[in-house]
Amino acid sequence: MSDSSGKLKLGALVALVVGSMIGGGIFSLPQNMAASAGVGAVLIGWAITAVGMLTLAFVFQTLANRKPDLDGGVYAYAKAGFGDYMGFSSAWGYWISAWLGNVGYFVLLFSTLGYFFPIFGEGNTPAAIIGASILLWAVHFLVLRGIKEAAFINLVTTVAKVVPLVLFALICLFAFRLDIFTADIWAMGTPELGSVMNQVRNMMLVTVWVFIGIEGASIFSARAEKRTDVGKATVIGFVTVLLFLVLVNVLSLGIMTQPELAKLQNPSMAAVLEHVVGHWGAVLISVGLVISLLGALLSWVLLCAEIMFAAAKDHTMPEFLRRENAKQVPANALWLTNAMVQIFLVITLFSSSTYLSLIYLATSMILVPYLWSAAYAFLLALRSETYEQALAERKKDLIIGGIALLYAIWLLYAGGVKYLLLSALLYAPGAILFAKAKREVGKPVFTNVEKLIFAAVVIGALVAAYGLYDGFLTL
């Protein structure tokens, strides 16, 4: 996996990208998509997503090659291009998105176990939350002891993820029926889904969630053996995962109708395979998912700590998050992360938030870091920075950066005002840590422009808080 100096080779970086992208999302894809859109809208949405996400993958590739001095990926680009507060907000948003995703993973994990043990229900019963809490702190203390994600564990979980997916695709390919697939292409039979444009919009938010992790290689860029491998790993990982996602989603629509799929309990892949081959199909997918989720939880817990630690090292985050224990694990960042996961696990018990609403919130938090990365790549090409000798490349990167930027803006729109306001509620308190970090280096907290941006965030947060209190916003 890595050579004697501990640097990561291309294979290890690809495994990181694929490993962090294939978590639990793909296993719930048939139901999540059918709940949002009909066959026609799903196909349009995937086409737009493939182009948009590919340009985003190219953006991370370009930035890794053109700005080799910027380590830590997403937040470093926002900081370099748009100042300290934007850099901080990117790290903060990314971190919140990652641990919120972990809460979603726990809910999904126990919802899957609920298939075998009804006491866990849909993953948000008291028994499920107690189970999730015990597991959370077990992972926490495992990581604290310095057991970084061992290459062996990573390999086992990656294989465990891919084997059920390949089997699913092969079996469903033979069971696929065109008459089911084409029965109601534009979902006219389910008017509650709304217009085709509306369906595409809703479906595309789910697609963003399953692609989170595309930046995995760039976050570990400091540990790569060759800088160019970071970009290659991003693109190879992206194409592999895209292929799996489209196959799982499209093949399911030829096995069961859209209204049938929309009613399934997650992980819906299990129910689809059970429909074709009987009970063992559901067991196979459920076991694959449990192993996949355990692997994903471990790597995302590490990723959460890594982003806070990296941001604290260059004074974007406060000093205390830079502290490591004797085993070189960023302990304070880890404690803060898992305390937040624990609080939100308890909240899911009292609020009806299901896996999907947590996912939407996590997705809207990560859109901001993605937006700044795309904007920074576009800005570099626009100013011809680092392109002095490469005019042809500049034109190509200007187009790619432009498309990625438009895609990121469209995603913010697709997320809708509700999730934008709710994410403002999570962004606003971050300013306390930002101010602390600034004071530690004796600098003024905000520039004039940043004051205006912060004011807008606070207004959004106040509206969201009132909305939750009044009931016109719900989690």
Per cent of the chain over pLDDT 70 is: 96
Structural domain contains residue 404? yes
Find the CATH number of the domain harbouring 407: 1.20.1740.10
Structural domain contains residue 435? no
Q: Which range marks the domain in which residue 208 is found?
A: 10-419
Q: Identify the burial level of 302 via C-beta atoms within 10 angstroms of its C-beta, where 0-12 means exposed, 13-18 middle and 19 or more buried.
A: buried
User: How many structural domains are present in the chain?
Assistant: 1
Is 60 exceeded by the pLDDT of residue 62? Answer: yes
Q: Which pLDDT tens digit goes with each residue over 166-225?
A: 999 999 999 999 999 999 999 998 889 999 999 998 888 788 778 888 887 777 776 778
Is 80 exceeded by the pLDDT of residue 73? Answer: no
What global pTM score does this model have?
0.87
Is 90 exceeded by the pLDDT of residue 9? Answer: no
Structural domain contains residue 450? no
Closest CA to 289 of 125, 109, 45: 109
Q: Identify the burial level of 179 via C-beta atoms within 10 angstroms of its C-beta, where 0-12 means exposed, 13-18 middle and 19 or more buried.
A: exposed
Handedness of CA 44, 197, 362, 132 (dihedral sign): negative
Structural domain contains residue 233? yes
pLDDT at 183 (0 to 100) = 92
Structural domain contains residue 462? no
3-state SS, residue 267: coil
Structural domain contains residue 87? yes
Q: Identify the burial level of 192 via C-beta atoms within 10 angstroms of its C-beta, where 0-12 means exposed, 13-18 middle and 19 or more buried.
A: exposed
Structural domain contains residue 439? no
Residue 1 pLDDT class (50, 70, 90 cuts): very low
Contacts from 97-100 at CB under 8 Å and sequence distance 24+?
97/212, 97/362, 97/363, 97/365, 97/366, 97/369, 98/300, 98/303, 98/304, 98/307, 98/362, 99/300, 99/304, 99/337, 99/338, 99/340, 99/341, 99/344, 100/344, 100/358, 100/361, 100/362, 100/365
Structural domain contains residue 203? yes
Is 70 exceeded by the pLDDT of residue 58? Answer: yes
